[in-house]
Amino acid sequence: MWKGPETCTYANISRTPDGTTLLATTASSHLHNFILPPDLLSNPNLDSPLRSYTSQLYPTPLNSFTPYPLYNLSSPSTTLVLVSLNALPIRLINTLSPRPAPVSSYPLINPTTEAYLTPSSLIFSSSTTFLAGTDCLISQFDIARNGSRPVTSLPTIPSKRHKMKGGGVGMRGIISTLSIQPTSGEEQSGSGMLAAGTWTRQVGLYDTNGMGGTVATWSIAEVADQHAGIGGTGVTQTLWSSCGRYLYVAERQSIGMLVYDVRVTSKLVGWLSGREAKTNQRLSVDVFPGERGTEVWSGGTDGVVRVWENVGLCEGAQECSWSWRAHDDSVGSTVVHSSGTVVATCSGQRTRLDEAFDDDTDASSSDEESSSTPPLSASSASSESGIENSLKVWAL
């Protein structure tokens, strides 16, 4: 097991596409670049500290970030990450640079007020384009057009001003998460559906990587609260199975995850029970195409990482297949290496000050949404005594 520094509260971690690097954000507005040891797979028992190669300090907290899909550590021109900052343009940053000087920037501006819109979610739809989710809007940018505004925009509702315009259809709320359906080699690249989730507990599917027509939108509130009984107050993640048939939906303040079969619009297959996520803090989940079907990996507020196997093949409630205690605090992120034998986790309990910067939606959401925002959970509002802030890399 390798351990990173314990001097900061880790908020989220992400693995780069080439599997060589972990990118970690902190509550202190830093982005750390951890280059994994070259003997990671051949010598998994090495017990040594994991030090960040670079530590970039940003002027505001990072609301969202995503690595460049062609990220290759041996080619420094590709070691890029897209970041979203409060009231600033979206920036493309080189992670190997000691300072976060933008390689490119992309303004997303409210046409009425001329204020910068802060994306709550970012995703690369291809090696040349990316999508940004804001309030009732998904915007597409061309990364080659430095300083340019979106090339295309997709409103998720007909009108923000008039709720019933267009028959009240669509998906209202801030786009909190974006994920693109995997496609097989036989299918045309870019033909997968885009899954989007909102803090208002809605999920939408959009064709052609999000720039096509609306496939479906639906609310998960009734199913999660009454049918599955797992609760929730806003979608934090949508994830796809490797086959692209099943969609997994995670919420904050929830004790489970919903599993949908997208071949039948909004058909609930079942739910994963036992996920300890009764907190406003984002507890990120990862999926892995295991030998016995898709695996879902999730950490909880109790410091335990749980794994569900064969997800999508069982109806109704599904208990975790196995678990282990990784931390003595909330596990903010769980990331599985493409080899399936290495897992990265981070922990760090959020204080009230941290919560003020977390989930930028709470500050920028409409009055209708903010009025339904739940109070801080006991775990996220506790004192700082006994809090574990750490990043660990495990060899399984």
Q: What is the pLDDT of residues 241-300, one digit of tens each?
A: 989 999 999 999 999 999 999 988 778 999 999 999 999 999 999 999 988 789 999 999
Please, what is the average pLDDT of the chain?
Answer: 85
Total number of domains constituting the chain = 1
For residue 250, what are the CA distances in angstroms to 17, 319, 388? Answer: 23, 15, 24
Any domain includes 122: no
Summarize the confidence of residues 185-189 as an average pLDDT. 57
In whole angstroms, give the CA distance from residue 290 to residue 199: 30
Please, are residues 302 and 283 in contact by the beta-carbon 8 Å criterion?
A: no
Please, are residues 250 and 311 in contact by the beta-carbon 8 Å criterion?
A: no
What is the CATH classification number for the domain harbouring 198? 2.40.128.630
> Range of 217's domain?
2-49+167-395
Any domain includes 213: yes
Any domain includes 216: yes
Give pLDDT tens digits for 107-145. 999 988 999 999 999 999 999 999 999 999 999 999 999
For residue 295, what are the CA distances in angstroms to 116, 237, 244, 291, 315? Answer: 39, 16, 14, 9, 15
What token pair was written down for 265?
A: 């619009």
38/3: higher pLDDT: 38
Any domain includes 120: no
Q: Is the pLDDT of residue 163 over 80?
A: no
Any domain includes 257: yes
Any domain includes 8: yes
Summarize the confidence of residues 18-31 as an average pLDDT. 93
Q: What is the pLDDT of residue 384?
A: 43
Q: Is the pLDDT of residue 148 over 50?
A: yes
Q: What is the pLDDT of residue 164?
A: 54
Half-sphere exposure at residue 360, Cβ-oriented, CA atoms within 13 angstroms: 22
Please, are residues 11 and 368 in contact by the beta-carbon 8 Å criterion?
A: no
In whole angstroms, give the CA distance from residue 312 to residue 246: 7
Please, are residues 317 and 308 in contact by the beta-carbon 8 Å criterion?
A: no
Residues forming a β-bridge with 323 = 306
Any domain includes 71: no
Q: Which residue has the tokens 């267009």?
A: 166
